[in-house]
Amino acid sequence: MKTPKRPVIFLAVSGCTIFLVATSVHLNMVELPQSNAREDASFDLAPLAASNSDTDESDTMAPCLAVDKQHHEFGDVTPGDSLTAQFKLTNNGAMPLTITSLKTTCGCAPAQISATTVLPRDYSMLEVAFRVPLHAGTFGHAVEFWTNDLAHQFVRLTFSARAQWAVNVDPPHVNFSARRSDLPVSREVQLYSPDLSQFEVFTVETTVPWIVVTDRSGNAGRRHSFTLTLQGSPQANAFSESVRFFTSSPKRPVVIVPISGEILAEQTVVPSRVLLGPSPPGGIKATRLIINSIPDTCVNSVTIQDSNWRITEWKSPLGDEKRRILALQIHVPSDPGYHRTVMKISLRDLADPIEVPISCLVTNNDLSIEREDVLSPGKQNQEPEVRP
């Protein structure tokens, strides 16, 4: 009689086990989405604009922010335009919405808001003013603020624009590297229409007469080419000038191209006179000169007029685009006395060599201090002996 009860008990236990496992799995499947939903606090416009009919009673008693757009695109604009972006902030909750710490990512785009406290079912207008810089390119900034909406405490709204001139210039800035006043140099400038519309260039003006502009294209067209020639200047110095092109485009009637550079009247050597100082007879003295010259120049030769002098070694590494360093090893005369001569430096781009005076006092007296006398044992704490 006991044998048939075993399967019944086994089935009953097994049934309870299956029921408990199934119940546990069902509870986990229900609770996990609720937990994840409460941890998600990312800013999303779709939930903000949606109806609150499915929310809990506790959610309806809180402020709820809704924004009409998260990004405002101005599209193609002209450099220098004044733009305004507006965002509508609506409170779809049952409690007042508070907006604090309003700021923009750039001081060039100040923001204003009509109300920092928004009542339920009311709205506030956020306005951002932006002045497009005076050059072509894509620009974008953002406005940020904090709210008491727990789901969207930090909000970031963006806006962008693409600035484009009706008439562009290439290059927008012309630089003439350092040049001598007697060497004319030219640069090419092109004016063109990005949208391929035709325009005319009526007049060209320069701020100085020694910048000459030559028109290399016709009067009407989509692209105009000009040659800017630098024909010296009244004085050798760095300069900053400009060229103005007057066009038929109503959106850009004047195109201003800045011109900068430097004029070198002649090559200069620093120091202008070399004093080698006292030297033993037939000694070798090392010195260094800096040649302020035109870029890409090179030293062809270095010579000395007096045969009693001799240059044993010289090299000329490039310092930068405006300077060249000349390192020398000079063999002084063997006869005691005060000697003077002239060193001549020949450059590739200069017809006449640069003359640099050199002087040296050749003496038999040993004016140096012997190092072993100063650092020898027993004399380390004594004053060094200076020999006449």
Give the residue from 272, 254, 71, 31 showing the smallest Cα distance to 155. 71
- CATH number of the domain at 138, please: 2.60.40.10
Assess contact for 261 and 231: CB atoms under 8 A: no
Do residues 246 and 184 share a domain? Answer: yes
* Whether residue 41 has pLDDT greater than 60: no
Assess contact for 201 and 249: CB atoms under 8 A: no
The pLDDT-based confidence of 318 (bands split at 50, 70, 90) is low
Do residues 59 and 141 share a domain? Answer: yes
Mean pLDDT of 164-180: 84
Residue 238 backbone phi and psi in degrees, to 5: -75, 145
Lowest-confidence region among 158-172, 184-198, 315-329, 340-354: 315-329
The whole-number pLDDT of residue 182 equals 63
Give the residue from 329, 217, 228 showing the smallest Cα distance to 283. 329
Tell me the average pLDDT of the chain. 76
Do residues 319 and 304 share a domain? Answer: yes
Highest mean pLDDT among 216-220, 290-294, 343-347, 379-383: 343-347
Collapsed DSSP state (helix, strand, coil) of residue 50:
coil
Do residues 250 and 273 share a domain? Answer: no
Highest mean pLDDT among 28-32, 35-39, 312-316: 312-316
Would strands 254-264 and 174-180 be described as parallel, antiparallel, or unpaired? parallel
Do residues 82 and 153 share a domain? Answer: yes
Collapsed DSSP state (helix, strand, coil) of residue 221:
strand
In a domain, 375, yes or no: no
The number of folded domains in the chain is 3
Do residues 246 and 303 share a domain? Answer: no
The fraction of the chain above a pLDDT of 90, given in percent, is 30
Angle at 103 between CA 91 and CA 77, to 5 degrees: 95
Do residues 307 and 356 share a domain? Answer: yes
In a domain, 328, yes or no: yes
Do residues 247 and 189 share a domain? Answer: yes
The pLDDT-based confidence of 301 (bands split at 50, 70, 90) is confident
Assess contact for 98 and 148: CB atoms under 8 A: yes
The pLDDT-based confidence of 147 (bands split at 50, 70, 90) is very high
Do residues 153 and 83 share a domain? Answer: yes
If you ran DSSP here, which 8-state letter would residue 385 be given? Answer: P
Do residues 215 and 125 share a domain? Answer: no
> 83 is in which domain, residue-wise?
45-163
Do residues 109 and 54 share a domain? Answer: yes
d(CA 37, CA 347): 79
Sorted by sequence, the CB contacts under 8 Å of residue 161 that are 6+ apart come out as 73, 74, 75, 76, 77, 83, 130, 132, 138, 139, 140
In a domain, 28, yes or no: no
Give the residue from 44, 372, 352 showing the smallest Cα distance to 180. 352
* Whether residue 99 has pLDDT greater than 90: yes
What would the 3-class secondary structure string for 227-274 be? Answer: EEEECCCCCCCEEEEEEEEEECCCCCCEEEEEEEEEEECCCEEECCCE
The fraction of the chain above a pLDDT of 70, given in percent, is 70
